[in-house]
Structure 1
């Protein structure tokens, strides 16, 4: 763990989270045909990002001081996740939320820690289907639907 990098990332994500929360207050409170307004999801994401950033800030304060020991940054993993996130944003509308999120999570899980592909598939499927079911079916919000060939 790199203490300096973690602190910079923490402050960056904290600022982004606060910005999300502030800007989500400018979005209208309700949407036609939806019980949940379009401002709720960005506000909650910003709040989660702020809370996780504060947690990381406290954790970095407890890091032991290791002098002279440099850690190699993992550029390959960073670029895989970064390109996956860009593809996620591009493919979200045409492919739909469930499939795109499922694929993004599997790539992310396997990039961060190679392990059981079966475990990654189960967690990714439960998360993407669970969030879709909770948000679209129960809260009557809207997310990009399934692809045309699966409707």
Structure 2
């Protein structure tokens, strides 16, 4: 049995800690969130900040949950030159947890693919979050 470890704001599993705090990457097609199709929000698994709306999730075939837009102000980016590659890393703007990477090969209207580790996210079905809707990205 693995023991939970403290995160910045909450308690994480060791696998979540490896992704969010040590910039790890989960195996492709290993997250149940790949198949999540309900209406709701995807929040940071550590601090709970709403990062993505379900209306922006799509099937990219990459093996990781993918989104074409973010909740404004929730996600930050920085260059990532690790592993001999040049990529753009994305992180939670509240707790700085590593989420994944963004690529310029996504669908309209943004042309972006936010390729996110499912371990970095919690799905909150609509009506269970107790918060107001941050607005539809499709309307932007």
| Fold conserved between structures, TM > 0.5 | no
Structure with higher helix content: 1
| Larger RCO, structure (CA 8 Å, separation 6 or more) | 2
TM-score under structure 2 normalisation? 0.23
Structure with higher strand content: 2
TM-score under structure 1 normalisation? 0.22
| Structure possessing the higher radius of gyration over alpha carbons | 1
